[in-house]
Structure 1
Amino acid sequence: MRLDWVPATDRPDLLAEPVRVALERLLAEGVLEPPDVEVAEIDPDLADTAELVEASGLPMDDMANCIVIAGQRGGEERVCAALVLGTTRADVNRTVRKALDVRKCSFLAMDEAVGRTGMEYGGITPLGLPAGWRVLVDEAVPARGSIIVGSGLRRSKLRLAGTVAARLPGAEVVPGLGLPV
C-alpha cells in the first residue's frame, strides 16, 4: 500500500474540524506554509500505528503518536498532549507527571479525549488541540526529517517535519519523554 501525500490545504475533507481551523490560522499567521503539512487518505482500519506500518511498509520511526494525559494539583486539572515516536512510549509516570507538576496522572478516557479534542480516537494529533493545552514533544521528534501522525480523523494521516511539530502552539520539547518500547 502506498500513501498519496498532498498539501493538507488541498484536502480539508480529510481533516477534523479543529485541525482544519488550526491549520488555516497558522497559515494565515505565517507560522506554517502550505507544503509544511501534507495529508494522505488511509483505510480507517489502519489508523493504529502498528497496523499502518505493517500494511504500508513505512518505517515505525517515521510514525508519531499523540496521547492526551491529565492530572490534578490543588483541585486544578492539568491536561497535556504528549507526542512521541512510534518506536517509543510516553514516560507518563515520571516525565509527564513532573512536567505537569502533579502527584499522579493518567491517559484521558477515550470518550473524554474524543469529546474534548473534537477528534476521533486513533486520530488525535497535536495540531488543533484546545487552546491552552501544553504539547509535550519528545526530543527525538524534531530530529526526524518528517513524522506521520493523526489528522483528527481515522481515515487519514498527516505528514510534517519534526521541527514543525515542535513549533506548534503549546509545544515544548521535553528530553526523556519517549522511552524505548
Structure 2
Amino acid sequence: MRSLLGIFSDATPAADQLDQLTPPVAEAVAAGWGGIPAGSVLHVDTGPEIADTAVFTEHYGPELLDTSANCVVVAGKRGGDITLAACVVLSRARVDVNGVVRKHLGSRKASFAPMDVAVGETGMEYGGITPIGLPAAWPLLVDPAVVDEEWVLIGSGRRRGKLIVPGKALAALPGAVVLEGLGV
C-alpha cells in the first residue's frame, strides 16, 4: 500500500467520496461487503483523460501494471440465452474469454459485451467499470493473481478517479469466483 499511497498521496476513504462515485458503486461502498472494513477502500482523484490503462501507466509509471486490475464485461451466449459476467485481471494480463470464461459460463460463444450494454447494465462509465457495485445476479470472475495482491488499483465506476482496495476484498464481493487461468 505504501507504494500506491506514495504515488497517490491524495487517497481518501471512498466512504467520504461517495459523490465522486456512480450510484451503484457508492451504494456498494457505503454498504460494505464480506467483512472488509469501510476504511480499506480508498478513492484517488485522477483525470478522465488518463483513465485508460496504457495512458494511466504512462502517466504514473509502468510499475502500476503489477498492482492495477481491469474489470471487463463479457457476454456468454448459448442458444438464445445471454449471460453477462464481469472479469477482473491484473492490467498486465488479458482475459481468456474464449477458453476459461466461455467454459465457466457454459457458453458456446463468449465475447466482450458491447459498450452500450456494459454501460447500460452496470450504471458505470465505459473506461471506469469496476467490480464493486455490479448487478448482483452477475458472475464476477476474479483471477487469483488479483486476490494475491495486498492492494489493487481499480476503476471507480467513472473515468475520473480510481479505487485502492485489498486484493482479497475483490474475492469477497457478491457473486465472486476466483478462477484459475482467467488472466493470461
- TM > 0.5 fold call: yes
TM-score (norm 1): 0.93
Percent identity between matched residues is 48
Q: Secondary structure at the match of 1:149?
A: strand
1:9 maps to 2:15: yes
Shift of 1:145: 0.9
Question: 1 or 2, which has the higher strand percentage?
Answer: 1
Which of 43, 46, 53 aligns to 2:47? It is: 43
Q: Secondary structure at the match of 2:108?
A: coil
Q: Flag structure 2 segments of 5+ consecutive residues without an equivalent.
A: 1-5
**How many angstroms apart in 1 are the aligned matches of 2:150 and 2:81?**
37
Partner of 2:25: 19
**How many angstroms apart in 1 are the aligned matches of 2:106 and 2:172?**
23
Partner of 2:174: 169
Residues 37-84 of structure 1, C-alpha deviations (whole Å, 9 max, x = no match) = 101000100111121111112521111000000122243221110000
1:64 maps to 2:64: no
Shift of 1:34: 1.8
TM-score (norm 2): 0.92
Listed as ranges, the matches of 1:1-181 within 5 Å are 2-3=7-8, 4-26=10-32, 31-57=35-61, 58-179=63-184
Q: Secondary structure at the match of 1:19?
A: helix
- The structure 1 segments of at least 4 consecutive aligned residues displaced by more than 3 Å after TM superposition are none
What is the RMSD computed on CA atoms of the aligned residues? 1.5
Q: Flag structure 1 segments of 5+ consecutive residues without an equivalent.
A: none
**How many angstroms apart in 1 are the aligned matches of 2:76 and 2:179?**
18
Question: 1 or 2, which has the higher helix percentage?
Answer: 2
